[in-house]
Structures are given as structure tokens and as C-alpha cells.
């Protein structure tokens, strides 16, 4: 009986904690969006975050994009060759990248590279009282620490995704055309025929929503970090794990809505 | 006779800060159990007490970073526990805070740190900012360190830079959260001297949270001893130094024998 009671208590307290945290996170998101639209705006900080999140992620995005395209081309070519439809390689690679893999993998990459750094930086600012210092100067920490990250993510994620897609398609081209002897014309002309503007729109919408998710979760976890080095490391891990899970769940949800 | 000449209380007698029956608890543990304290305009007061005794929690209430469970905090006739965030921000304009570790923004230089409140809060023009920052850094002996980042300077220099940042806007009230923690005795005295000099120059109302006993007795006008969530004793430094209260005596002498439980 005691074990059952303990079990129910545990489930109850975890559920209450989960609901509370979810509510707290949504209030944080709504507050952040309020400051996104209400001046004064911090353009210099925004540019700095665009540079950090976008420019400095370029190399890793290109690297992962190219190999994703190459692997995709190899696997899809193998499958298509069983049905004798190798000509469809171009559209298959491009569609997979533009609708799914581009937005998702670009978002996961930026989460690992920039998201974790954002959580750690804000977390350290919290535990070293730099956030309190802003408050004591009658300045709103949201404007300085959160809003620039959210706007930068909304601007940068679609651009990085577009670069990921283009590099991935060329990665597929290298494998399909140069290694597997598909004609270059077939690879691109079929792509043109099968890819619709709505596919590109879906990719863009997804990447914008992923940008909001990553910046929201990573900023929240940093802003409410627990004290000490352990607190910051825990927040950083939680931020990356939660962002990644939410990206995949939200991707499925959007995929189900748009299909 | 201490290191510094004794300070006379030359304050104008109206209350800048009044704390009434301040209570605060965290996760069911009561940290502040009814603090009552009046701090006069231009007075320099030290709050001493045990580590983990709620001194920093008390300080955070003064600037509205923490909200009390019960009680009132009146800053120049405004009860900050009853006002909205906009009004609270206007009260915060009166404050400068020197945080325990300095709380300098580590991604910008010392110059930008000191210039930060002038740029963001007061929105002054560049030449005026340059002049004020140069003066503030000169005051704290940091002229020449403008281009350095907080990570590139020593702990003592960071504290002085934090003091410069807190004072550059010439606030009416300055809060010091353990401004000398982790410093050697010479640096400790240099920071104390700096506080006295700056107090003379800017005439602010100062609240210093500290463990520096007996050194702080030569710096402040009054000492408040925070014990068990309440002000156990308050008075001029000499009164506290010669206190008959066994709790105060034990704390000041650092004796292991007495009414205070060690752990």
C-alpha cells in the first residue's frame, strides 16, 4: 500500500512540476514576444547574435548539409535502382531536404552549436549576478538577453536552412552525377518538375518555427538556471535535449498538418 | 584608533530607507523574520551577520529583486512593495549596486561596463560619457585599464570597476554586497578607504553587507547586526564593539563559546 501511495505521489508531483514548468515557459515566451514588438530595440545586440548564430554556424551547416545530401543520394539511388527509376534521384533528394531534413538537421545543428552556448552564457550571467546588475540599473534583462536571440533565430534559421538545402542538393549531385553516372540534366530537370513552391514554403515555415523553439528553450533554460557550475551544465544539457525533442515533435505535427 | 580617522555622523535626519516587519522564506525556511530598520539620508550603515544569515537576501529586497512575503520597504516615501514594475524602475534610478563578485558584464571592456548605465539608462551623448567614465575610473584608480576585459584584471580591480560603475550615475543610495570578500588586508583597506572617499565626494546613503570585523567599524556611521532573521542589535560602531549582548559579543570576537550555534 505504501509503495502504491509513493508511486502515486511521485507521478502527481512530477505531473504538477511538468504543468507548472510548461506554463512558466509559455509565459516567458509571451513576455519575450511582447518585448520583440515594443521599443527600444537593441540593434547592435541583434547584429551580434545574427553574427554568432548565423555566420559562425555556416561552416558546420555546409559540412553537415553536403554529407547529408551525399548520403541521401547514395541511399535513394540504391532504392530507386530496384525499380529502374534512377531518374527520380534529383527530386527525391531535393524534396527530402527541402521539406524535412534541411529544416530539421539545420535546427539540430544550430541547437548544438549556438543554442547550448546561449544557455551557458545567459546561465553564467545569472549566477554571476550580471542579470541582477541589469535589473538594479532599471534595465529590462529580457531586452538585452532574450529578445536579440529570438529575433536573430527567426531571421537566421530559414537562411541557414536554405544554405543547408542548396549544399545538400549539390552533395547529392556529386554522388548521383559524378559517382553514379546519372546525367546532370536529368538530376536537375526532374527536380524542377516535381518541386513546388509550397514545398519550399513548408521548409521555410518549419525553420522559422524551429528558430523560435530553439531560442525560446535555450534562453529560458539559461535565464532560470540553478546556481553553480553544475546548475549551468544541467541547464545546457536540458536546453539541448528539450530543444531537440521539441524540434522533432513539432516537425511531425507540421508534417501531419501539411501533408 | 583604527586605520581611518573616525567618522562623525553628519547625516541630514530624514529617513531615506525604512524597512518595516520584513519577512521572507524560501521553500518553507524562514530567512527574514521581521526586520525593522530605518536608514537616514546620507548615512553609511553596515549590516553584519553570519554567512547564510540572510544579509544578501535583505539587500536584494531593498532594490526590489526579491519580493517580501510580508512587510514594507519604503524608499524616500515610496513603498516599493506596493508599486508596479514601471514605478519600481523609477525608484531603482536612485540606486547603485556593487555586487559581491562585481557582476561586471564580461563580454565588454571596463570602459563599456562603466559607460553602460550612462548609455542605456541616462542616454547621455558620447563626449559626456567619455568624460564621466574617465572621472569615475580615475576616482577608483583604474585610469589606463579602460580597454581591458573583466577577465583580464585582478579581483581587487574588478571590485573597484564595479564601484566605478555603481557611482558613475551619482546615485542617492549605494548598496554594497560584501565589497571586500576574497581580498587581502591591504586591498580590503584600500576598498574601505575608497568607499569613505566616494561617500565624502558623492554623499550617498550607503548600505554595506560585510563580514569585515572589526575593520568596518572605522568606515560606517552605524552597524546593524542581523541574527536569526532579525536585527539583533543596532548602534554606533563603538556601541556594537563594546556590546553587552552575548550574541553580538560572540559574533564580533568570533568565539566558538557562547549562545550562537556554530553549525
CA B12 to chain centre: 19
Q: Residue B122: closest CA among chain A residues belongs to which residue?
A: A137
Q: Residue A124: closest CA among chain B residues belongs to which residue?
A: B106
Reported ipTM: 0.88
> Taking CB atoms and an 8 Å limit, are A138 and B93 in contact across chains?
yes
Q: CA torsion sign, A193 to A198 to A201 to A202?
A: negative
Give residue A259's pLDDT band: very low, low, confident or very high (50, 70, 90). Answer: low
pLDDT given for residue A166 in this prediction? 96
- With contact defined as beta carbons under 8 Å apart, do A40 and A148 qualify? no
Which of B92, B95, B100 faces A129 most closely, judged by CB atoms? Answer: B100
β-strands B222-227, B44-49 pairing = parallel
> Taking CB atoms and an 8 Å limit, are B92 and A133 in contact across chains?
no
Nearest-neighbour CA in chain A from B156: distance (Å): 16
Which stretches of chain B score pLDDT less than 50?
Answer: 1-6, 8-9, 11
pLDDT given for residue B13 in this prediction? 61
- All three cell numbers of B51, joined, read 554567512
Residue A256 has pLDDT above 60, yes or no: yes
CA distance B50 to B14: 29
> Taking CB atoms and an 8 Å limit, are A136 and B97 in contact across chains?
yes
> To 10 degrees, what angle do helices A197-223 and A116-127 make?
20
CA distance A217 to A219: 6
pLDDT given for residue B6 in this prediction? 45
- Chosen for mutation from A129, A140, A144, A148 (greatest number of chain B CBs closer than 10 Å) is A129
CA distance B248 to A13: 43
Residues of A in contact with B100 (CB under 8 A): 129
Give residue A214's pLDDT band: very low, low, confident or very high (50, 70, 90). Answer: very high
Return the SS3 of A181.
coil
Q: Does residue B93 sit at the A interface (CB-CB below 8 Å)?
A: yes
pLDDT digits (tens, 9 = 90+) for A116-166: 999 999 999 999 999 999 999 999 999 999 999 999 999 999 999 999 999
Torsion of CA A114, A120, A122, A126, to 10 degrees: 180
Which of A124, A133, A139 faces B97 most closely, judged by CB atoms? Answer: A133
Which of A125, A130, A136 faces B63 most closely, judged by CB atoms? Answer: A136
Nearest-neighbour CA in chain A from B97: distance (Å): 7
pLDDT digits (tens, 9 = 90+) for A219-244: 999 999 988 889 999 999 999 999 99
- With contact defined as beta carbons under 8 Å apart, do B218 and B2 qualify? yes
- All three cell numbers of A258, joined, read 501539411
pLDDT digits (tens, 9 = 90+) for A24-66: 999 999 999 999 998 888 899 999 999 999 999 999 999 999 9
Q: Residue A145: closest CA among chain B residues belongs to which residue?
A: B105
- All three cell numbers of B102, joined, read 562585481
A194-203 long-range contacts (CB < 8 A, ≥24 apart) are A194/A88, A194/A91, A194/A94, A194/A95, A195/A91, A195/A94, A195/A95, A195/A98, A199/A95, A199/A98, A199/A99, A200/A98, A202/A98, A202/A99, A202/A254, A202/A258, A203/A98, A203/A99, A203/A102, A203/A103, A203/A161, A203/A165
> Taking CB atoms and an 8 Å limit, are B106 and A130 in contact across chains?
yes
- With contact defined as beta carbons under 8 Å apart, do A123 and A232 qualify? yes
Residues of B in contact with A136 (CB under 8 A): 63, 65, 92, 95-97, 99, 175
pLDDT digits (tens, 9 = 90+) for B146-182: 999 999 998 889 989 999 999 999 999 999 999 888 8
Amino acid at each position: 500500500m505504501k509503495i502504491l501511495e509513493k508511486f502515486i505521489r511521485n507521478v502527481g508531483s512530477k505531473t504538477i512540476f511538468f504543468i507548472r514548468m510548461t506554463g512558466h515557459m509559455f509565459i516567458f515566451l509571451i513576455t519575450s514576444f511582447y518585448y520583440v514588438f515594443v521599443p527600444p530595440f537593441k540593434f547592435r545586440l541583434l547584429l551580434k547574435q545574427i553574427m554568432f548564430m548565423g555566420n559562425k554556424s555556416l561552416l558546420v551547416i555546409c559540412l553537415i548539409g553536403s554529407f547529408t545530401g551525399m548520403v541521401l543520394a547514395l541511399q535513394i539511388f540504391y532504392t530507386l535502382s530496384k525499380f529502374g527509376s534512377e531518374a527520380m534521384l534529383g527530386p527525391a533528394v531535393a524534396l527530402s531536404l527541402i521539406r524535412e531534413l534541411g529544416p530539421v538537421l539545420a535546427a539540430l545543428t544550430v541547437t548544438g552549436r549556438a543554442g547550448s552556448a546561449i544557455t551557458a552564457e545567459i546561465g553564467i550571467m545569472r549566477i554571476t549576478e550580471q542579470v541582477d546588475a541589469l535589473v538594479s540599473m532599471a534595465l529590462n534583462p529580457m531586452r538585452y538577453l532574450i529578445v536579440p536571440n529570438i529575433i536573430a533565430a527567426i531571421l537566421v534559421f530559414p537562411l541557414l536552412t536554405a544554405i543547408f538545402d542548396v549544399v545538400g542538393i549539390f552533395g547529392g549531385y556529386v554522388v548521383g552525377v559524378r559517382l553514379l553516372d546519372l546525367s546532370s540534366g536529368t538530376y536537375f530537370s526532374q527536380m524542377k518538375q516535381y518541386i513546388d513552391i509550397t514545398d519550399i514554403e513548408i521548409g521555410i515555415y518549419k525553420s522559422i518555427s524551429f528558430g523560435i523553439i530553439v531560442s525560446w528553450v535555450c534562453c529560458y533554460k539559461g535565464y532560470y538556471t540553478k546556481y553553480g557550475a553544475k546548475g549551468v551544465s544541467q541547464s545546457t544539457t536540458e536546453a539541448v535535449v528539450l530543444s531537440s525533442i521539441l524540434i522533432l515533435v513539432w516537425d511531425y505535427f507540421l508534417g501531419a498538418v501539411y501533408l | 584608533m583604527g586605520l581611518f580617522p573616525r567618522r562623525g555622523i553628519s547625516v541630514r535626519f530624514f529617513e531615506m530607507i525604512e524597512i518595516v516587519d520584513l519577512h521572507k522564506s524560501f521553500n518553507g525556511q524562514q530567512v527574514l523574520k521581521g526586520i525593522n530598520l530605518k536608514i537616514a539620508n546620507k548615512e553609511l550603515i553596515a549590516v553584519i551577520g553570519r554567512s547564510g544569515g540572510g544579509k544578501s537576501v535583505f539587500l536584494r529586497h531593498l532594490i526590489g529583486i526579491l519580493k517580501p512575503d510580508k512587510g514594507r520597504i519604503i524608499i524616500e516615501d515610496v513603498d516599493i512593495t506596493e508599486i508596479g514594475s514601471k514605478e519600481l524602475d523609477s525608484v531603482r534610478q536612485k540606486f547603485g549596486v556593487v555586487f559581491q563578485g562585481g557582476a561586471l558584464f564580461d563580454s565588454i571592456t571596463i570602459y563599456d561596463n562603466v559607460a553602460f548605465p550612462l548609455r542605456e539608462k541616462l542616454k547621455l551623448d558620447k563626449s559626456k560619457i567619455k568624460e564621466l567614465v574617465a572621472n569615475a575610473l580615475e576616482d577608483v584608480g583604474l585610469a589606463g585599464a579602460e580597454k581591458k576585459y573583466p577577465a583580464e584584471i585582478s579581483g581587487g580591480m574588478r571590485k573597484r570597476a564595479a564601484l566605478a560603475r555603481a557611482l558613475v550615475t551619482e546615485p542617492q543610495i549605494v548598496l554594497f554586497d560584501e565589497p571586500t570578500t576574497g581580498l587581502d588586508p591591504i586591498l580590503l583597506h584600500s576598498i574601505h578607504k575608497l568607499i569613505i572617499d566616494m561617500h565624502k565626494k558623492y554623499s550617498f546613503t550607503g548600505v554595506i553587507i560585510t563580514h569585515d570585523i572589526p575593520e568596518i567599524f572605522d568606515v560606517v556611521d552605524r552597524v546593524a547586526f542581523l541574527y536569526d532573521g532579525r536585527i539583533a542589535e543596532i548602534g554606533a560602531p563603538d556601541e556594537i564593539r563594546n556590546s553587552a549582548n552575548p550574541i553580538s559579543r560572540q559574533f564580533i570576537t568570533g568565539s566558538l563559546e557562547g549562545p550562537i550555534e556554530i553549525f
